[in-house]
Each structure stands twice: as structure tokens, then as C-alpha cells.
Amino acid sequence: MALTSDEVLGWARVGVLLIGMGWAAWMDHKERRVSNNHWMIWVKPAIFIWCLELLARDADWTIYLTASAIVAYASVAIIGRPTLQDLLAGNKEDVIVFLWYLVSLIGVIFGMVKYGDVELADLLLGNESGMTALYWTTLSGLVVIFVIDLGWRLRLIHGGADAKALMWVAILIPNWSTMPIITDYGSDVVLRLPPAISLLMWGGLSFLLIPLILVGKNLINGNVKSVQDLRMFWHSTVMPLDKVQQSHVWLLTSMIEMPNGERKPYHKTRAPRRTPTDDELTKQLQDLSLNNVEYVWVSYKLPLLVFLFPAILPMALLGDITTIIIKMIGL
């Protein structure tokens, strides 16, 4: 059976998502950072596919510029935002970026004027169609980028690469109609999270497996030797002291002085709020070594992208996680 143009573009999006996110997840795992250049490279096929989709749907210029506004907003995370001082200095690149913002904003405003005669309930329930539905569906991408950006600034999303990855997904897969979902839930779906947010939710489910894995690992390795270790064995593990410096972990063990003057190792249940400098970590390790501590409790620094990558599969097979939950509880 021949694929439609929408299906071809949809599977192309899934392919780009798998390769681009897989590559980023590998870098995040090995180096705990993903360069901005990675997202600059992989946003190009995302924009190209989006343009092909809008072309196939005969979108007008306001919709193209609204999509451009979404890319412009997300670009701030990569290239920054030109200031008034930059513009007055006459920097060519800053002037071009400002004009990009301005032209995109004009498209958004004209689109609102052209397609503004619509009821919010009709949009949410999917009762609108044609260019009106396409415009508002495209515009919703700005809300998604705003939510991701806000989560990043409020440190709800800790890593810059994590926020950039989710923004990239929002551009690559702006809505569910652009992704070939294998499971069909019919037309009576009450609520769907945007694909980028849904991928974050799917990835979050993977984190629920971590305590079970750590409990099993610590029990098998014999790391639980006292009642106090029960506070640690579900969220951390034991590591030789000499391996901490070159590992991506938080050191949870430190020396404390008891009321009687004796110094003993103490295991914190939480990672430090601030990442210690190399010198601070070295001093902590030396202090432990001088007190004959050979093994310490550590908590792994888990890169989010490593969990987002495998989450692509259930999202492609099953769709939005909130839809599944709503169906399960019978709403």
C-alpha cells in the first residue's frame, strides 16, 4: 500500500528524531554536554520537513511566518537575543536576527487578524478545519517553546541541552497530526499534550525504574550492611574512592566530627545543590583517604537525553501518554 505525503513526512520526522536524539544522547552520556552546533545541524532537516508539510497543505504566508516565529523564539537558547546596544552598534548579524524577529511577529499578528474569529472551545475540541486550524495549531508551538523556556529558567529542566532538545522536538514534531502514530484512539480524544512535552513525560517514566535497578544492584553487590544503608540503597550506590574523580557522580560521603571529637564518615541522602569545583572535590577525597575510607556512596548524574531517546519508541507506537491515562480511567 502506497504511503501518503503526510505519512512520508511523518516517518521522515521519526527518522530524524531517532538519529538526532540518539546522537545527542550518546554525547550527553559520554561527556555530559551537547554542543550548540549539534542543534544547529539537526534543526535544518526539521525546518525543511516542516516547510514541505506547509507547502503540501497550501499554507499562506502568515502560517509560514508563524512557524518562523517559533524557530526564532527557540533560537534564543542557541544564539542569544540581540540587545538595543548590539543594534545601535550596527552589528550585521544582530540586525538580521532582529529583522527576522520583526517579520515573524508581523506574520503572527496578521494571522491572528485573519483567523481570529474562532471559538476557543472549537479549537480545543478539534472542530475547526482548513487554514484556521492549521494556523492555530502552528501558533500553539509558541506556547510549547515558552513552557520549555520557562521550565529551563526556573530550573525545572536543569540542563541546557535538555531544554534545547525539547525545543528541537517541538520544531520537528509541532503537533500530533505530523507524526504517524501506530495506535489509533479514534476522534474522541479529550486531551493531548504536545509531542515535545509528551516525550518528556515518557522519558520521566524511565526514571521510575532507577530505584528498582539500584536496589537490585546494591543487594547483589552486598552494599547494604547496616540499617543506615537502607537510606541510601534505593537512590545511590557504592564506589571505590579512587574512581570518583573520573566518574559522573555526586559524592555523598564526607567526614564529620562527632561531639566526642571523633571523625566519622557520614552519608548524605541528597546531592549537593551546587556542583563542587575540582579543587573542592579533590579536598573532600583527600580528607576521606586520610581517614582510611576506601568506598563511598555516590549518586549518578543521570543525563535526561539518555532517557528521552528510548522514550521515542513508546511515543511513536502509543502516542501521547495522557491520552493513554485518560482512556485507562475511562474519561
Q: Are residue 76 and residue 219 in the same domain, yes or no? A: no
For the whole model, what pTM was predicted?
A: 0.83
Q: Are residue 17 and residue 90 in the same domain, yes or no? A: yes
Question: How high is the pLDDT of residue 40?
Answer: 95
User: What string of pLDDT tens digits covers the 331 residues of the chain?
Assistant: 567 888 889 899 999 999 999 999 999 988 888 999 999 999 999 999 999 999 999 999 999 999 999 999 999 999 888 888 877 777 888 888 999 999 999 999 999 999 988 876 666 666 667 888 899 999 999 999 999 999 988 878 877 889 999 999 999 999 888 888 766 665 565 567 899 999 999 998 888 888 898 999 999 999 888 888 888 889 899 999 999 988 888 898 888 888 887 888 888 888 777 778 888 888 988 988 888 888 999 988 888 899 999 999 989 888 888 888 877 776 5
Q: Are residue 166 and residue 223 in the same domain, yes or no? A: no
- How many Å is the Cα radius of gyration of the chain? 25
Q: Are residue 12 and residue 151 in the same domain, yes or no? A: yes
Q: Are residue 53 and residue 166 in the same domain, yes or no? A: yes
For residue 160, is it within any domain? yes
Question: How high is the pLDDT of residue 123?
Answer: 67
For residue 295, is it within any domain? yes
Q: Are residue 102 and residue 251 in the same domain, yes or no? A: no
Q: Locate the DSSP E strands across the chain.
A: 237-240, 249-251, 253-257, 263-267, 295-300
Assess contact for 327 and 185: CB atoms under 8 A.
yes
Question: How high is the pLDDT of residue 7?
Answer: 83
Question: How high is the pLDDT of residue 154?
Answer: 84
Question: How high is the pLDDT of residue 177?
Answer: 83
Q: In Å, how far are 125, 148, 249, 285 from 279, measured between CA atoms?
A: 57, 34, 16, 10
Q: Are residue 148 and residue 247 in the same domain, yes or no? A: no
Q: Which of 180, 201, 227 is the last residue of a domain?
A: 180
Question: How high is the pLDDT of residue 172?
Answer: 96
Q: Are residue 50 and residue 147 in the same domain, yes or no? A: yes
Question: How high is the pLDDT of residue 271?
Answer: 78
Question: How high is the pLDDT of residue 116?
Answer: 83
For residue 311, is it within any domain? no
Q: In Å, how far are 8, 43, 155, 194, 233 from 75, measured between CA atoms?
A: 27, 10, 19, 19, 41
Q: Are residue 91 and residue 225 in the same domain, yes or no? A: no
For residue 47, is it within any domain? yes
Q: Which of 162, 180, 198 is the last residue of a domain?
A: 180
Kindly report the backbone phi and psi dihedral angles of residue 109, in degrees, each rounded to the nearest multiple of 5, phi listed first. -65, -45
Q: What sections of 208-329 are H helices per DSSP?
A: 210-220, 278-290, 304-318, 321-328
Parallel/antiparallel/unpaired status of strands 295-300 and 237-240: antiparallel
For residue 326, is it within any domain? no
Assess contact for 167 and 77: CB atoms under 8 A.
yes
Number of structural domains in the chain: 2
Residues 305, 309: Cα–Cα separation, whole Å = 6
Assess contact for 105 and 72: CB atoms under 8 A.
no
Q: Which amino acid is at 142?
A: L
Question: How high is the pLDDT of residue 33?
Answer: 87
| Distance between start and end Cα atoms, the chain | 35
For residue 327, is it within any domain? no
Q: Are residue 109 and residue 173 in the same domain, yes or no? A: yes
Question: How high is the pLDDT of residue 183?
Answer: 66
Residue range(s) defining the domain that contains residue 73: 5-180
For residue 41, is it within any domain? yes
Assess contact for 95 and 87: CB atoms under 8 A.
yes
Q: Are residue 137 and residue 218 in the same domain, yes or no? A: no
For residue 312, is it within any domain? no
